[in-house]
Chains A and B, each alone.
Chain A
Amino acid sequence: MPNGAAPPPTAPRTRRSLAVFALIGAALMAALDEIVFHQILHWHHFYDRSTPGIGLLSDGLLHTAELGALVAGGVLYADLRRLRALSPAHARAGFVLGLGGFQLFDGVVDHKLLRLHQIRYGVDVTPYDWAWNAAGLLLLLLGAVLAVRARRTGDRRADA
C-alpha cells in the first residue's frame, strides 16, 4: 500500500482461504491438462470431429471460465495476504480439492458425458479413463482429509 500502513492482521478467514485455493487448484489443473495433454503429449485432440455443438459451447465456456478463475484466484489470494487473513492449512486443503475436483469433472463430464475428446486415440481408452478418474478421486479424498485436519487444528487453536 502506498501510504505504508498495512492493515491490521485479522482473524484467519478459513472458508475464504479454502474457497480461493480450490478455485486456483481447479484452474491450474485445467491449465495443466491443456499444456500437458494437448500441447506436449498431443494425446487430446484440439477438436474432435464427433464433438456435438453443446459440447463445444460448454468447452468454450469452461475454458474461458478457467482463465478468469486463474486471474480471480490470484487477486483474491493477494487480497487475503494483504489482510493477513490467509489460513495456510485450509489453503492447502482447498488447493488439493480443486485439483481433484477438476480432474474428476474433466474425466466424467468432458470426456464421457459431453464427449469433447478422449484421453488418447487409437488405443483402448478404458484403462486411461480409470487411471484418470481414480487420480481425481484420490486427490479429492486427500483434499478432504487435509480439510478435516485443518479444521481440527483451527478448533484446537481457538480453544487454547
Chain B
Amino acid sequence: MRPSAAAAAADGHPAGAFGLVVAAVALAATAAYVLAALRLRARGDAWPQWRDASFAAGCLAIAHAMMMPLPGGPFTAHMVHHVVTAMAAPVLVVLGRPLTLLLRTVPPGRVRRGFLGVAHSRPAAWLLFPPVAALLDMGGLWLLHRSPLLAAAHHRPVLGAAVQAHLLAAGLLFAFSVCRLDPVRHRWGLAVRGTTLFVAGAAHAVLAKTLYAVPPPGTAFAASDLRDGARLMYYGGDLVELALAGVLAVEWYTRRGRALRPRARRAAAPGRLEPAAGGRRFT
C-alpha cells in the first residue's frame, strides 16, 4: 500500500494539518508546564525535577512522531507511531502529574473552579473508570486493525485525523486512569487498576500476534513489513506494560511503607506509647 500525501495522517508519516496542530499543542504544553513548575518552586513548593523531564519527554516524543518521518515500511512506521504516541508518551505525560500542577498554579477563582468542576464531574469519573478507559483504548485499536477502518483512513484525511485523535486521547486516558496520580473524583483501588492493566495488556498482545499473520482487512502490506510491525507492537506493548506495572508497584510499596511507619516508631522508642506501664497515678 502506498500512502498518498493526503492520507498520511493515518499512517504516522510526516503529516498534514492535524499532525502540525498536535505537535504545536504538545510543545505549548511543555512550555506551560515548565513555566508553572518554575513558579511553584519559586514560591517554595516541592516539585521534583524528574516530573518536568518526564512530561517534556512525553510531549516531545508526540511532537516528533507527528512531524518526522518514521523508520521502516508503511505498516512498521504506523506501529512506531502507535507505540510512541498512544502508549509510551502518555505514560511519560501522566507521570508528570499535569492536573496536580495545573490546580496548584492556577489562582483560586472562577478558572480554577472550572477546572476542578471538570475533573470532578460525573462524565470524567465514568471515563476514568479503568475498564471504560481500557475499552475505549483497546476497543479502538481492535476496531482500527480488524475492520476496514485503517484502509478507509488511508484515503480520507479527515477520518485519518479522527482516528489518530482518538488513539492519542484514549492512550492518555488509559495511562491516566491506570496510574491515577492526579486528584480526580473516584480513587479506584490497585486491584481494579491492576486487573484492567492485565486484561488490556493481553488484548494488545493478542492483537499484535494476529497482525503478524493476518493484515488489517483491505490493506496489502508486504509480509516482512507486517511482521516487523507486529513484533514492534508486541514488544513495545511489553515495555509500556512493565512501566505501568512499575507505577502500581511503587504505589503499593509506598503505601505499605506508610502503614508500617508507626510500628517502626513504636519499636524505636519502646514504652513511650504505654503511659500506664510506668506512670505515676494520682489518686
Among A60, A70, A74, A79, contact of B209 (Cβ-Cβ < 8 Å): A60
Q: Is the CB of B205 within 8 A of A47?
A: no
B241 at the interface (CB under 8 A from A): yes
Q: Is the CB of A5 within 8 A of B264?
A: yes
Q: Is the CB of A7 within 8 A of B260?
A: yes
**A68 CA to B213 CA, complexed, in Å:** 26
> Which of A47, A56, A61 is the most central at the interface, judged by chain B CB atoms within 10 Å of its CB?
A47
Q: A71-B245, A75-B253 are in contact. Are A8 and B202 (CB under 8 A)?
A: no
Contact with A along B255-267 (1 / 0, CB 8 A): 0110011011101
A63 at the interface (CB under 8 A from B): yes
Nearest first, the 3 A-B pairs at minimum CB distance are A60-B206, A64-B201, A75-B249
**A109 CA to B155 CA, complexed, in Å:** 44
**Residues on A with beta carbons closer than 8 Å to the beta carbon of B35:** none
Restricting to A10-58, which residues have a CB under 8 Å from any CB of B?
A: 46-47, 49, 56-57
Q: A1-B264, A71-B242, A75-B249 are in contact. Are A82 and B209 (CB under 8 A)?
A: no
Q: Is the CB of A79 within 8 A of B256?
A: yes
Among A1, A74, A82, contact of B249 (Cβ-Cβ < 8 Å): A74
Q: Is the CB of A75 within 8 A of B257?
A: no
**A31 CA to B204 CA, complexed, in Å:** 18
- A148–chain B nearest beta-carbon distance, Å: 31
Q: Is the CB of B198 within 8 A of A68?
A: yes
B238 at the interface (CB under 8 A from A): yes
Among B210, B250, B261, B265, contact of A56 (Cβ-Cβ < 8 Å): B210
Contact with A along B201-221 (1 / 0, CB 8 A): 111111001101100000000
Q: A7-B260, A71-B246, A74-B249 are in contact. Are A60 and B198 (CB under 8 A)?
A: no
Q: Which residues of A contact B (CB under 8 A)?
A: 1, 3, 5-8, 46-47, 49, 56-57, 59-61, 63-65, 67-68, 70-72, 74-75, 78-79, 82-83
B126 at the interface (CB under 8 A from A): no
**Residues on A with beta carbons closer than 8 Å to the beta carbon of B268:** 5
**Residues on B with beta carbons closer than 8 Å to the beta carbon of A46:** 209, 212, 227, 230-231, 234
Q: Which residues of B contact A (CB under 8 A)?
A: 194, 197-198, 201-206, 209-210, 212-213, 227, 230-231, 234, 238, 241-242, 245-246, 248-250, 252-253, 256-257, 260-261, 263-265, 267-268
Q: Is the CB of B253 within 8 A of A5?
A: no
Given A47-B213, A68-B197, A79-B256, 10 extra CB contacts under 8 A: A3-B265, A5-B268, A7-B264, A46-B234, A49-B213, A56-B206, A56-B210, A57-B202, A60-B202, A68-B198
Closest to B238 in A: A67
Q: Is the CB of B209 within 8 A of A67?
A: no
Closest to B210 in A: A56
Q: Is the CB of B263 within 8 A of A7?
A: yes
Q: How many A-B residue pairs have CB under 8 A?
A: 86
Q: Is the CB of B205 within 8 A of A60?
A: yes
Q: Is the CB of B209 within 8 A of A8?
A: no
**Residues on A with beta carbons closer than 8 Å to the beta carbon of B253:** 75, 78-79
Q: Is the CB of A3 within 8 A of B261?
A: yes
**Residues on B with beta carbons closer than 8 Å to the beta carbon of A59:** 205-206, 209
Among B213, B227, B245, contact of A67 (Cβ-Cβ < 8 Å): B245
The 6 listed contacts between A and B (C-beta, < 8 Å) are A5-B261, A8-B264, A46-B231, A46-B234, A67-B201, A79-B253
**Residues on A with beta carbons closer than 8 Å to the beta carbon of B204:** 60
Q: A7-B263, A67-B238 are in contact. Are A75 and B252 (CB under 8 A)?
A: yes
**Residues on A with beta carbons closer than 8 Å to the beta carbon of B241:** 64, 67-68
**Residues on A with beta carbons closer than 8 Å to the beta carbon of B252:** 75
Closest to B257 in A: A1
Closest to B208 in A: A60
**Residues on A with beta carbons closer than 8 Å to the beta carbon of B202:** 57, 60-61, 63-64
**A63 CA to B203 CA, complexed, in Å:** 11
**Residues on A with beta carbons closer than 8 Å to the beta carbon of B264:** 1, 3, 5-8
